Amino acid sequence: MFKRIAVVNRGEAAVRLIRAVRELNAEHDYGIRTVALHTEAEKRAMFVRQADEAVTLRKPATGSAYLDYGVLEAALVESGADAVWVGWGFVAEDPTFADLVAGLNITFIGPSADAMRLLGDKVQAKLLAEKVGVPVAPWSGGPVETRADARRHAAAIGYPLIIKARSGGGGRGIRKVFHEDELELSLERTQGEAERSFGDP
């Protein structure tokens, strides 16, 4: 059983985990401690106050501390955690972060890095689902790389349809398309958003 769980998330997600651990401890007397990783601006946030302990994430040179592996690694070491919970968003679907955690000999509470790699690519995930007999909605059957591909597949699938980037998640890189005249612009916008968000158009 874990003794110390570092919480690499904030807000509602973190509160839910902290509450669940508290209830588990009350029911089974496990004595698991939660350690909230947080930014300086969040030091008075509810999730930080509810955790048993807290570690302040140092401010990264650019971007979010919750996405900076160097910042997260230092905080995890400082936390003394033997497990890490990421919830959803941020690094929750990032196999590189799961690998970093494993390298620190900390248990990643969630899917393995290999499973994330396999299922994180939406094209490969659909192909795997089909291979093992899981029903899937009509789709392109592979990557859509050109406008001509998009028009051909849309004609076969029909409207309305969804354009989805193969990478990422969290609601980014996805567009609903209700009519043929929206298709090309939606494709461009989806590719642009995926490039900016995941580095993969």
CATH number of the domain where residue 157 is located: 3.30.1490.20
**Helices and strands counted in the chain (H then E):** 8, 7
Same domain, 54 and 128: no
Edge-first strand order for the sheet with 4-7 is: 53-56, 33-38, 4-7, 83-85, 107-109
Name the percent of the chain lying above pLDDT 90. 80
Residues 30 and 109 grouped into a single domain: yes
Domain span at residue 135 reads: 121-198
Cα radius of gyration (the chain): 20
Reported as a single tens digit per residue, the pLDDT across 76-93 is 999 999 999 999 888 988
Q: What pTM was computed for the model? A: 0.78
Which runs of consecutive H residues, i.e. helices, occur in the chain? 11-28, 46-50, 69-79, 95-103, 113-120, 122-131, 147-157, 183-198
How far apart are alpha carbons 72 and 11 in whole angstroms?
Answer: 17
Separation of alpha carbons 192 and 200, rounded Å:
9
Q: Are residues 58 and 140 in the same domain?
A: no
Is the domain of 133 the same as that of 67? Answer: no
Report pLDDT digits (tens) over 185-200: 999 999 998 888 777 8
**Do 99 and 141 belong together in one domain?**
no
Within 10 A of 200 (CB to CB), how many other CB atoms are there? 13
Q: Tokens representing 168? A: 């990422």
Q: Which among 91, 116, 141 is the end of a domain?
A: 116
Whether residues 102 and 68 share a domain: the answer is yes
**Which CATH number characterizes residue 106's domain?**
3.40.50.20
How many structural domains does the chain have?
Answer: 2
pLDDT number for residue 160: 97
CB 47 within 8 Å of CB 18:
yes
Of 116, 151, 177, which closes a domain?
116
Shared-domain flag, residues 16 and 82: yes
Where does a domain end: 67, 82, 116?
116
108 and 133 co-located in one domain: no
